[in-house]
Structure 1
Amino acid sequence: MISQETIVALASPSGAGAIAVIRISGSNAIAIAESVFQSVSGKALSRQKTHTIHLGHIVEDGKVYDQVLLSIFKNPHSYTGEDVIEISCHGSTFIQQQIIQLLLRKGCRMAQAGEFTLRAFLNGKLDLSQAEAVADLIASDNEASHQIAMQQMRGGFSNEIAKLREELLNFASLIELELDFAEEDVEFADRSQFRELLTRIEFVLKRLIDSFAVGNVIKNGIPVAIVGEPNVGKSTLLNALLNEERAIVSDIAGTTRDTIEDELVINGIGFRFIDTAGIRETEDVVESIGIKKTFEKIEQAQVIIYMMDSSQLALDDESLKEVWIELEKIKNQFPLKALVVIGNKADKLTNDQVVHLKTNIPNILLLSAKDKQGIDDLKNQLLSFVNTGALRNNETIVTNTRHYDSLLKALEEIQKVRFGLDSNLSSDLMAIDIKQALYYFGEITGEVTNDELLGNIFANFCIGK
């Protein structure tokens, strides 16, 4: 399936910059590069050692395109496992295109999205889960997602799966051997050891499956909806969290008529804050549309920050009862979402009023968004919703939906095998479920694959990687 064509693409971001990197990979990479490169030392490129860098010019028929640095990586000691050339040229988009077009005329083909990493996988330089981690590493925009991608790219996840698969495969071989000697009625596979193995595999699979909830949050960020009545300080809170004037603030109720979103990284975890229109009864058509969008954003959020003006609530017990009713509505309507109750404008409260509020609304977080008091307490409470213990312990965390799906299916098959073992089913029936479990393990790392699967995975990569 590995294409023998030599491919080329821009490996650095498109657009003008100080330098650009053009990558070539394939059996003719060195020969094609040598046909357009003149070293200042006069040495032939094909005779140079791998992992060396050479200064020279890209030329065609006496025309000099640019002075460049050219790096050589000879197979199999390269990213793709093939001969690879990387040309570092000046970052003019004109120069980039001129050099790429020249290489195309000399016999290269434009690389498809993810084709360099696809070749690395097909040549055994990476397994499939490691290849997917490359894309996650490129897309990582906070410390936590970067840490997970690096751990997976180094093979942490692959090693766990490979070890389980190898042990299960050994027992599968013994089960198959029993089938060959069915008439002798012998057991080559120790059933007690097999039961222990299944218990261990189930434990690991459940841990990996459970980690997906955390991994998905870390990878994609946690959506947080800031809701409440008009003029309680929702936009001021957003500005305080982001430390910039992102949302318009005024004393006029209903100023925010559309949702405003922005992201903030707190201790390596990404949070996507959504400032919503104030919830109230209104005849204003535009404001009504904004309120409708507020409820849509609450549906999408994982955390709801319900905000109130504490300076008003502290003096009015009737308002406190209304707040209780509103909070119960939110909890009943969104039972699976984390809820943070905030009393804003706490700088206006007396000590007695603070005690009164905390007594009547347990777990309320009092702060002053305007003065940025209590913002760190809010950040800590948001972080408490994310289980980062696995990160600190360097445990494997699953972030890929495809891996999650295969793990679920593998667990289902392992549980079928356990049921067969406990029910004293025949070896041939257990062998079917074991093979299916091995199939799903193989799907994760790439021992089992097909062209359609690879096409779907690598189509999401950027060109040049």
Structure 2
Amino acid sequence: MILHDTIVALATPSGAGAIAVIRLSGPDAVTIGAKVFRSVKGKDLLKQRSHTLHLGHIVDGGKVLDEVLVSVFQGPNSYTGENTVEISCHGSTFIQQQIIQLLLRNGCRMAQAGEYTLRAFLNGKLDLSQAEAVADLIASDNEAAHQVAMQQMRGGFSNEIARLREELLNFASLIELELDFSEEDVEFADRTQFHQLLDRIELVLKRLIDSFAVGNVIKNGIPVAIVGEPNVGKSTLLNALLNEERAIVSDIAGTTRDTIEDEISIGGIGFRFIDTAGIRDTQDVVESIGIKKTFEKMEAAQVVVYLVDGHRSTVDGEIDGLITEFGKIKNQFPLKPIIIVINKSDKLSDDEKSKLTKNLNAVVRNPTTNDQRPTTLLLLSAKEKTGIDALKNQLLSFVNTGALRNNETIVTNTRHYDSLLKALEEIQKVKHGLEMNLSSDLMAIDIRQALYHFGEITGQVSNDELLGNIFGKFCIGK
């Protein structure tokens, strides 16, 4: 990849629209822009100040391609740190291609995926974690993901890592200095202060590592499987949650034979609901495949909503069978939060609700079941859309949103999580060495490794393969 030439790409989504933005970046961006731009007031683009906007036309020889607005950003005061020109043209795909081809003929090269942000990183405008947050911000599809990405892009995470690295680097310098005077048996690094620093770094690293569980949920959403016997109202519940007729509803048992998925945001967190085939014994080959998929989705889901037809259970006396079936599910998925939802509560009297709740609560609290997480019991009517908010609040309670409210740093990136784990391991080795009075040269090796893993996060330590993997996932034009 050549990083000292001038690149061009469409910065807005491909396809027709009201306007499109074509971005140039590189040492000759303004020069090339000036070749093809004619200002309505006769301005020379090369003589214009940074951060100015100009009306004119893009011309190819004597042919006018479009009337445009051109923005000029002189490096290093631009996103990439280089000279940058942005051409806002009309959104016709024909016009877009005509202008880009003209710029290519005048010395530009088509940008590769993520090359603008890569240049921003290499020119010191962003560190690596901030650059990755740019991609997360573009991909954010709910309030929580947006909030976390914005906090990281502004440097919240990298600043915290930089502070830890700087403090550790100061002590590392003193440890290294001791090695130069090893024959004189002197200590420049105060061991008590060093131990306190290591304790503080360990505490911060553990907090950041623990935050990844929440961060992963925020970034990727929470899969929720809606399960139960046929005709208990699973598809009706999905439609009520989504507030649209997403799934086909009928009185025929086995209507849902394949899984149906859709996502909504609750309290800023994405939840992906999965409507599954009803669980029952059947000879129908297609329905059997659907039931097998139901258990696969339950395995992949983080939360299981077990739906019960409250009216049928009371009338037909099927509560014993339901209790048995629910017990099997609890034992099969002991680590998953399970919400028992008694549906069709609008058809139940107060006495029937009380009796059904009591019987199911007996299973919820049964100590013989291999259950390691609390199970919740709710009554609702999916058809009448009553009790839906209570279910949403219960789902939201499974997510630790306190860190969001407190604006704490949350780790969402698997690469960062891996580097934090490795850094913590090295810090714990240094602590052990300090407690065992190991020599400075041995501790210095572990300190260097910890500093290396800190540097991996912010990009102070990087290689072409790593950068290619990160920026190759960006869209072209960013």
Match of 2:416 among 380, 403, 422: 403
Name 1:83's counterpart in structure 2: 83
1:299 CA displacement: 1.3
**Residue pairs, 1:325-364, within 5 angstroms:** 325-362=324-361, 363-364=376-377
Is 1:3 aligned with 2:10?
no
State the AA in 2 paired with 1:331.
Answer: K
Is 1:321 aligned with 2:320?
yes
- Gapped regions of structure 1 (runs ≥ 5): none
- The one-character-per-residue Cα deviations of 1:90-139 (angstroms, maximum 9, x if unpaired) are 00000000000000000000000000000000000000000000000000
1:60 CA displacement: 1.3
Question: Whole-Å Cα distance in 1 between the matches of residues 41 and 109 of structure 2?
Answer: 29
TM norm structure 1? 0.99
TM norm structure 2? 0.96
Question: Whole-Å Cα distance in 2 between the matches of residues 270 and 40 of structure 1?
Answer: 48
1:314 CA displacement: 3.0
State the AA in 2 paired with 1:85.
Answer: V
CA-based RMSD of the aligned residues comes to: 1.0
State the AA in 2 paired with 1:264.
Answer: I
Question: Whole-Å Cα distance in 2 between the matches of residues 96 and 344 of structure 1?
Answer: 54
8 Å Cα contact 1:346/1:368 also seen in 2: yes
Question: Whole-Å Cα distance in 2 between the matches of residues 269 and 463 of structure 1?
Answer: 28
Is 1:379 aligned with 2:378?
no
Name 1:110's counterpart in structure 2: 110
Match of 1:433 among 443, 446, 459: 446
Is 1:458 aligned with 2:457?
no
State the AA in 2 paired with 1:433.
Answer: D
8 Å Cα contact 1:114/1:464 also seen in 2: yes
Name 1:227's counterpart in structure 2: 227
Greater alpha carbon shift after TM alignment, 432-441 vs 352-361 = 352-361
Q: In the comparison of the two structures, how many residue pairs are matched?
A: 464
Name 1:445's counterpart in structure 2: 458
8 Å Cα contact 1:80/1:123 also seen in 2: yes
1:364 CA displacement: 1.7
- The one-character-per-residue Cα deviations of 1:402-438 (angstroms, maximum 9, x if unpaired) are 0000000000000111110111111100000000000
**Residue pairs, 1:246-257, within 5 angstroms:** 246-257=246-257
**Residue pairs, 1:23-102, within 5 angstroms:** 23-102=23-102
Name 1:278's counterpart in structure 2: 278
State the AA in 1 paired with 2:175.
Answer: I
Question: Whole-Å Cα distance in 2 between the matches of residues 301 and 41 of structure 1?
Answer: 62
State the AA in 1 paired with 2:159.
Answer: N
Percent identical among aligned pairs is: 78
SS at match of 1:395: coil
Question: Whole-Å Cα distance in 2 between the matches of residues 251 and 315 of structure 1?
Answer: 17
1:338 CA displacement: 1.4
Greater alpha carbon shift after TM alignment, 221-230 vs 293-302 = 293-302
- Gapped regions of structure 2 (runs ≥ 5): 362-375
Name 1:299's counterpart in structure 2: 299
Question: Whole-Å Cα distance in 1 between the matches of residues 125 and 377 of structure 2?
Answer: 53
**Residue pairs, 1:61-210, within 5 angstroms:** 61-210=61-210
SS at match of 1:324: helix
- The one-character-per-residue Cα deviations of 1:227-252 (angstroms, maximum 9, x if unpaired) are 00000000000000001100000011
Question: Whole-Å Cα distance in 1 between the matches of residues 205 and 424 of structure 2?
Answer: 6
SS at match of 1:461: coil
- The one-character-per-residue Cα deviations of 1:159-217 (angstroms, maximum 9, x if unpaired) are 00000000000000000011111111111001110111011001100000000000000
SS at match of 2:381: coil
SS at match of 2:249: coil
Question: Whole-Å Cα distance in 2 between the matches of residues 329 and 6 of structure 1?
Answer: 63
8 Å Cα contact 1:2/1:122 also seen in 2: no
1:315 CA displacement: 4.6
Question: Whole-Å Cα distance in 2 between the matches of residues 168 and 281 of structure 1?
Answer: 62
Question: Whole-Å Cα distance in 2 between the matches of residues 42 and 126 of structure 1?
Answer: 36
1:296 CA displacement: 1.2
Name 1:368's counterpart in structure 2: 381
SS at match of 1:361: helix
1:316 CA displacement: 5.8
Match of 2:407 among 375, 391, 394: 394
1:336 CA displacement: 1.9
8 Å Cα contact 1:2/1:119 also seen in 2: no
Name 2:15's counterpart in structure 1: 15
1:334 CA displacement: 1.4
SS at match of 2:271: strand
Question: Whole-Å Cα distance in 1 between the matches of residues 354 and 307 of structure 2?
Answer: 18
State the AA in 2 paired with 1:153.
Answer: M
Is 1:413 aligned with 2:426?
yes
SS at match of 1:210: helix
1:33 CA displacement: 0.4
State the AA in 2 paired with 1:456.
Answer: N
1:2 CA displacement: 6.5
SS at match of 2:59: strand
Greater alpha carbon shift after TM alignment, 352-361 vs 64-73 = 352-361
Question: Whole-Å Cα distance in 2 between the matches of residues 291 and 148 of structure 1?
Answer: 37
1:320 CA displacement: 2.7
8 Å Cα contact 1:261/1:272 also seen in 2: yes
1:358 CA displacement: 2.0
8 Å Cα contact 1:113/1:458 also seen in 2: yes
SS at match of 2:65: strand
